[in-house]
Structure 1
Amino acid sequence: MGRVRYTSVLVILALALAVGVGVWRWWQGPQVQGYVLERRPLVQTVVATGRVVTTSRSQVGSEITGVVLERHVEEGDTVRPGDTLLVLRSDELAAQVREAEAALTELATSRRPQALVALERAESELAQARRETARRRTLAERSLLSTEALEQAEQAQTLAHNAFDAARLTATALAPSNVEETLLRERLAALQARLAKTVVRSEVAGTVLTRDAEPGDLVQPGQVLFTIALSGATEIRVPLDERNLALLALQQDAMAVADAYPQRPFLARVSFIAPSIDPQRGTVEVRLAVDPVPDFLRQDMTVSVNIETGRREQALAVPNDALDDTLDTGPWGQAQVLVVREGRVQRREVTLGLRGLAMSEVLDGLRVGDRVLANPTASLPEGSRVRFTQRAAPVSGSGEDAATRNELPVNFN
C-alpha cells in the first residue's frame, strides 16, 4: 500500500514538473535563431564576368591584287615587325622589273653613247655648213657666185644648226641624272615597290588572332587577311550593372580568374569607366588593366573578376538575411532588424555602410554583442518573449555575373 502511494506521489511530482517546465517555456516564448554581432574584417567586391582584349588590333591586308602563293603564319603565332605573313604570285611583276632594269642598262651602255656620237656629228656638220656659207658669201660679194647658191648654203647651215640643237637636247635628256634616266629609275622603283608588296609583312609585334587567306586564293586591296593583337597592354572589359556605378572608382584593385584556368588567379586594376550607360542593357563598361600579363591569357577569354570597392579592417557586420525593409539600393541606406534584448523582441532601424550578398556593415543602430533574428519578417509582436539560439554567420556569396542579377551584385569576403 505504501509502495502504491509512493509511486502516485512520484507521478504527480513528474506531471507537476512537466507542467511547470511547459509553463516556463511558454512564458519564455518560442525558440528563434539569430546572430550575435561582432566586429570582423570586411572586403566589399563587385562580382562580374568579362572578356580579355588587347588595347589595339592591327588588320593586315594586301595593297595589290594577286594570287596567294605561300602563307607563313597560323592563328596564335607570335610575329615581329618585318616577319613575312604571306607571299603573292609575282611572275609578271618580276618580269616588268627585269624589263625596266634592262632599259636602264640600255640607256647607260647604248642610247647615251649614241646620243653623244650624234651630237659630235651634228656639231661637225654645223661647223662645216658655217664654213661653206662663209666661203660662198665671200664669192657672192665678188660676184663670182650666184645669189641662189648662197641661199642654198645658208639654208644648209640652218638645217645643220637645227640638227645640232636636236642632238644636243637628246644628249642632254640622256645624260646621267637627267630626264630620261630619272623616268626610267622612277619606273623601276615603282615596279620594285609593287614587287615588294607581293610579300605581305607584319608592321607590328603581336599575336595572330585570325587568318583569312589560303594558297590559291585571289586577294584584293581592302580585304582583311590577318588580324594581329598588338603586344603590350592587355585589358579585361566588363559590362557592369549601372547600379554599381556609385561603388566604382579608377585604380581599384581586382582579382581575376580565367574560366579556363580557375586555379591561377591574377591581379587587375580598374583603368577606365565609361562616361555613358548602354540604354538597352542598363550596363556601364569597365576596363581593367592587367600587368603583368599571365602567359596563359588569350584574346577573348572569359574571365570572372572581383573588383574591390570597399574595405574595413574592423566593421560591425550583420548578415543580410537579418535585414528587412531596405529603403534604397545605393551603397548607403536604411534597414530594419529584429533585436532580442532581455529575452524580448525589439524592432530597430539601422544605418548601413558597405553592403554585399552575404554581409553588410552597420554604421548606427546596433552594437557589438547585439543579438538579431535571422528572420526579420517573423510575425512576432513588439516585446514578445523569445528563446534565442545562435546561428553561425554566413560566408561570402557566389561569384555570379553582376549584369545578370536583380539584387545589388556585391560580394563580401
Structure 2
Amino acid sequence: MALIRRLAKESSWRRMVWAAPAFLLALSGCGRDAESDAGAPRPVRAVVIEKSKLGETVELTGSIQPENEAALSFRIGGRIAERFVGTGDQVKAGQLLVRLDPQNEMNALRSAQARLTAAQGRLREARNNFAREQALLARRYTTKTKFDQAQTAMETAQSDIVDATAQQKIAQDNVGFTELKADTPGTIVARAAEAGEVVQPGQLIFRLARTGGWDAVFDVPARVLRDATRDARVALALTDDPNVTAVGRVRQVDPQADPNTRTFRVRVSIQSPPPAMRLGATVSGRIRLDPAAAIAIPAASLTETDGRPSVWIVDPATLTVSLRNVKVARFTSDAVIVSEGLRPDDTIVTAGVQALHPGQKVRLLDARQ
C-alpha cells in the first residue's frame, strides 16, 4: 500500500509540472490580448459641424400706432364753447378744432388797450412839460430841479408805454389762445373734452396722429434683439385677416427695458401700409434671426469640464480627441445652440463622450454633416 501511495504522488506531481508551462503560456496570451485591446482606437460617432442654416423665425404681436403723435391742449383755461371735429376726422394744418368762450379774454384785451391809451396821453403831457421846462431853463426862467422833475416824468411815461404795450400784446395772445388749431395735417385719434366743459391749461383735448408714417409697435425680449440683424425686415400681417400684409423695418428700439415685463419697445416703420391696416389694429410681426450668430450641435455631444460646457474635438490628421470649452446660447427641443467655441468643419464626438480622455485615439463610425 505504501508503494501504491508513493507512485500516485509522483504521478500527480508530474502532471502539475507539465501543466504549469501551459498555464503560464495561457496567462501571457491573455495579457497580450488585454494590451492589444487597450491600445486599439475607441469607436465613436461624430459629426462635422457647419453654420446653422435654420435661422429661427420669431413671431410677435403688436399694434399699429402713428409714427408721430401730438397731444393738443389749450394754453389757458376756460369753458369750451364749440367743438368742430371728432375722433377719426382728418384735419389740415391751421384748421380750427375747438374754441373757448373768449369773453374774459376780450374784456382783458379792452382793459389793456385802455391802459395803453392812457399811458400814451400821459406821455404826451410829460413831453410837453419837458419841452417847456427845457425852454425856460435856457432863458433862466426856471430852476434845474423843475427841469429834472419834468425829464423824470417823461421817462416814466415812456416806461409806462412799454409796459402797457406788452400787456396789450399778452391780452391779444390770450384771445388767440381761446382757439385750438391743428399745427400739422393728421387724424384725430382721441378726444378728451366736450363742449360746455371747463378745462385747465395743458389739459388734453385731442390726440393728433400726424400724417407722415405709421409704426407697428412690439414688446420684444432681449434675446430676440441680440440675435436679430441690424437692418432686420419684418413681415407684418393683420391678426384678423392674414391676407393683409406689409413689410416694415426696425426704426427705433427703446434703450431701457420695461421694468415689469423686461421687454424692449420696438417701433417698426411700415412701408406703404395698405388701407386695411388702420391705426390701433392688431398685427403680427415675423422676423428671422441671424443664422450666422450660432451653431447647432446634437445635445448628446455636450459634456462638462470644470463646471463649463465643452465638447470633444476630433483631430482629422491624428484621429485623437481633445476637449474644447463652448458657450451655449440656448437649448432647443433637439439641439444645443452654441455661440462661441466652434468653427465650421470641426468634427465633434456625438456618442461615447463619457468614455474618452484627452489624447485618446478614436475610430470614427460615421462623420455626418
TM range (shorter): 0.5 to 0.7
Deviation at 1:217, TM superposition (A): 0.7
* 3-state SS of paired residue (2:287): strand
Alignment partner, residue 201 of structure 2: 221
Q: Give per-residue Cα distances to partners, 1:379-398, cap 9 Å, x unaligned.
A: xxxxxxxxxxxxxxxxxxxx
Alignment partner, residue 212 of structure 2: 232
Deviation at 1:66, TM superposition (A): 0.8
Change (3 A) 1:326 1:96: farther
Change (3 A) 1:294 1:165: same
For residues 107 and 259 of structure 2, the distance between their equivalents in structure 1, rounded to whole angstroms, comes to 59
| Alpha carbons 1:250, 1:273 under 8 Å: kept | no
* 3-state SS of paired residue (1:94): helix
For residues 129 and 275 of structure 1, the distance between their equivalents in structure 2, rounded to whole angstroms, comes to 80
Confirm or deny that 1:291 pairs with 2:293.
Answer: no
Letter in 2 for 1:67: R
Change (3 A) 1:334 1:365: farther
Letter in 1 for 2:113: E
| Alpha carbons 1:69, 1:87 under 8 Å: kept | yes
Aligned residues: 259
Alignment partner, residue 75 of structure 2: 63
Alignment partner, residue 355 of structure 2: none
Letter in 2 for 1:62: F
Change (3 A) 1:241 1:107: closer
Letter in 2 for 1:60: L
Alignment partner, residue 167 of structure 1: 150
Deviation at 1:307, TM superposition (A): 2.0
| Alpha carbons 1:63, 1:221 under 8 Å: kept | yes
Deviation at 1:325, TM superposition (A): 8.7
Deviation at 1:189, TM superposition (A): 1.0
Deviation at 1:243, TM superposition (A): 5.8
Unaligned runs of 5+ in 1: 1-40, 131-156, 312-322, 336-348, 351-363, 367-413
Letter in 1 for 2:68: S
For residues 117 and 275 of structure 1, the distance between their equivalents in structure 2, rounded to whole angstroms, comes to 68
For residues 260 and 126 of structure 2, the distance between their equivalents in structure 1, rounded to whole angstroms, comes to 78
| Alpha carbons 2:224, 2:289 under 8 Å: kept | no
Map 1:138-217 onto structure 2 (within 5 A).
158=143, 162-174=145-157, 178-217=158-197
* 3-state SS of paired residue (1:216): coil
Which of 335, 340, 349 in structure 2 is aligned with 1:333?
Answer: 335
Deviation at 1:206, TM superposition (A): 3.0
Alignment partner, residue 16 of structure 2: none
* 3-state SS of paired residue (1:95): helix
Deviation at 1:54, TM superposition (A): 2.6
Change (3 A) 1:111 1:240: closer
CA RMSD of aligned residues (A): 4.1
For residues 124 and 283 of structure 1, the distance between their equivalents in structure 2, rounded to whole angstroms, comes to 83
Which of 113, 121, 129 in structure 2 is aligned with 1:101?
Answer: 113
Change (3 A) 1:277 1:331: farther
Which of 284, 289, 303 in structure 2 is aligned with 1:304?
Answer: 284
Deviation at 1:201, TM superposition (A): 2.5
Q: Which moved more, 1:221-230 or 1:211-220?
A: 221-230
Deviation at 1:126, TM superposition (A): 6.4
| Alpha carbons 2:76, 2:202 under 8 Å: kept | no
* 3-state SS of paired residue (2:87): coil
| Alpha carbons 1:267, 1:290 under 8 Å: kept | yes
Alignment partner, residue 239 of structure 2: 259
Alignment partner, residue 358 of structure 1: none
TM-score normalized by the length of structure 2 = 0.57
Alignment partner, residue 152 of structure 1: none
| Alpha carbons 1:45, 1:306 under 8 Å: kept | yes
* 3-state SS of paired residue (2:268): strand
Which of 60, 73, 83 in structure 1 is aligned with 2:85?
Answer: 73
Q: Give per-residue Cα distances to partners, 1:359-386, cap 9 Å, x unaligned.
A: xxxxx847xxxxxxxxxxxxxxxxxxxx
For residues 171 and 242 of structure 1, the distance between their equivalents in structure 2, rounded to whole angstroms, comes to 72
For residues 118 and 275 of structure 1, the distance between their equivalents in structure 2, rounded to whole angstroms, comes to 69
Q: Which moved more, 1:62-71 or 1:81-90?
A: 81-90
| Alpha carbons 1:249, 1:270 under 8 Å: kept | no
Q: Give per-residue Cα distances to partners, 1:246-265, cap 9 Å, x unaligned.
A: 65223222221123554321
For residues 282 and 173 of structure 1, the distance between their equivalents in structure 2, rounded to whole angstroms, comes to 64
For residues 279 and 105 of structure 1, the distance between their equivalents in structure 2, rounded to whole angstroms, comes to 60
Letter in 2 for 1:237: V
Deviation at 1:212, TM superposition (A): 1.0
Alignment partner, residue 94 of structure 2: 82
For residues 79 and 296 of structure 1, the distance between their equivalents in structure 2, rounded to whole angstroms, comes to 20
TM-score normalized by the length of structure 1 = 0.51
Q: Which moved more, 1:220-229 or 1:260-269?
A: 260-269
For residues 262 and 123 of structure 2, the distance between their equivalents in structure 1, rounded to whole angstroms, comes to 77
* 3-state SS of paired residue (1:53): strand
Deviation at 1:185, TM superposition (A): 0.7
Unaligned runs of 5+ in 2: 1-52, 292-297, 303-329, 338-349, 352-366
| Alpha carbons 2:244, 2:276 under 8 Å: kept | no
Letter in 2 for 1:294: P
